[in-house]
Amino acid sequence: MTDFQLNRRQALLMGGLGALSLGMPGAVIGSDKLDAQGNAVASEKSCIFILLCGGPSQVDTWDMKPDAPASIRGPYRPIATKVPGMRINEMHTELAKQTDQFTLINSMTHPGSISNHFDAMHNLLSGQSAKRVQQGMPDDQPYLGSFVAKHRPSERNLVSNAWLIKCVGPPVFCAPNIGIGGYLGSAYAPVFVGSAENHPAMATFKSPEIYDFGNADDLNRRKNLLANLESHKLDRDAQGKDWSDLRVKAYEAMTRPEGRQAFDMSREPTKVREGYGMHPLGQNLLLARRMVESGVRFVTVNGWAGQATHDKQGPPSSSWDMHGGNMGMGNAFGDGSYGMGFCLPRLDQALAALLADLKDRGMLKNTLVVCMGEFGRTPNILTQVPPGRQHWPSCFSAIMAGCGIRGGAVYGKSDKHAAYVESNPVRPEEMAATIYHALDIPLNPPQNNSGISRPITTGKPLLELFG
């Protein structure tokens, strides 16, 4: 039995309700606030991190080079957007209406020329450019969501750090520390939600077992029993009082209904669901918004676009690994599962709907949205049939919105072929520092209880992105 399959009885036996904040992945309890009526509201600061696993082509999406030779620019043309001078792929018709809500970064880079998914994803999610083992240090760096869960845990939800859905298939698509909390421990690991066979676009979608704690009346009885015992013993000293308070927080997080209700997609109007798109990417982004509303602090969304009905290739992790014919993935510019003709419209619909929805609900000011892959693709199209592009870590793009990030801006610049960064390079360190800054997380606090003192990141936040 894995850590993710603890049932109600086993969880309660883990030292009482308070132990839930210490041992179950993602189940860390913090201090959050409700509105004046005591209703659930979006967390103080939260993040939806959309990881386009596989690495989308910067040249074909957000850093297009229409004046480059056809062997570089590809078949697509840029279109005008709501922001004068900002142009993106012609299939991004909905996102073009939302460009005033985000900053487009065209100068992401891995300085070490990391060109495999495993290391590039590890570096991006851990906020570092070089693996620590190469420096003679243990490579147990926690990922972004784990740090957020430690320093900004939720009180309203049993889960602070979630992942929709876990990457599967060949291990090259899964960074090594995805399922653990690194040196912070398993309590800060993400709770994985969904799979290829159980995602929110399906009518049979089921919530994670971590939310299944049985009858609330049974929990109430246990709470009252513990309260009676503690009133005679544990609350006599400060340490006992702290433990009692922790149990109360854990109980409240478990029994608040919005944590479980977030997974009931039928509560959303049909028009809203269809606006996001009735496909895995669209419904996962809608679920991410619902989870943020229920108090989850950090939600990583796997950018799996789904599978084309006529092309069932590929595991639910790597839609954007568009090599083309040399790896049997079909035309990178076609409408198969690994084709931009299939994936880009779904990303356009889902991401634009998320940004508009968050803005309409007043949530964008406190919800950071990041959308990017672990690297980009080669400027030159591979000379093969059908065509595609290879991995390219030297230059790629990202989108950031919310939590004070300026809208309608372009940061950094690539060269004429989007091959290398010309100005304002952004490494994983700067990206991580900017995310932490947006979420009000101090950059160099103590990290764990075993005497290890490491900076949360060595990067500096890009303050010019805020305003």
Q: 177-190: per-residue pLDDT in tens? A: 888 899 898 889 99
CATH 3.40.720 assigned to domain 31-207+262-465? The reply is yes
What DSSP element (H or E) covers 244? helix 238-255
- Is residue 6's pLDDT more than 60? no
Q: What is the DSSP letter of 167?
A: P
Q: In Å, how far are 188, 218, 239, 326, 367 from 257, measured between CA atoms?
A: 22, 15, 30, 50, 22
- How does residue 222 score in pLDDT terms, banded at 50, 70 and 90? low
> Which residue, 321, 379, 300, 333, is CA-closest to 117?
321
- Is residue 318's pLDDT more than 80? yes
What does the pLDDT read at residue 279? 96
What does the pLDDT read at residue 282? 98
- Is residue 102's pLDDT more than 60? yes
Contacts of 231 (CB under 8 A, 6+ apart): none
Q: In Å, how far are 23, 26, 108, 135, 225 from 132, measured between CA atoms?
A: 26, 25, 21, 5, 48
- How does residue 317 score in pLDDT terms, banded at 50, 70 and 90? confident
Mean pLDDT for the stretch of residues 119-129: 91
Q: Which residues of 323-348 are buried (b: 16+ CB within 10 A; e: fewer)?
A: bbeeeebbbbbbebbbbbbbbbbbbb
Write out pLDDT tens, residues 21-72: 445 576 665 655 545 554 445 448 999 999 999 999 999 999 999 999 999 9
Start-end of H helices in 14-138: 20-23, 70-73, 117-126
Q: What is the DSSP letter of 141?
A: P
Note whether 191 and 165 are within 8 A (CB).
Answer: no
Q: In Å, how far are 105, 110, 130, 142, 222 from 137, measured between CA atoms?
A: 31, 20, 11, 14, 45
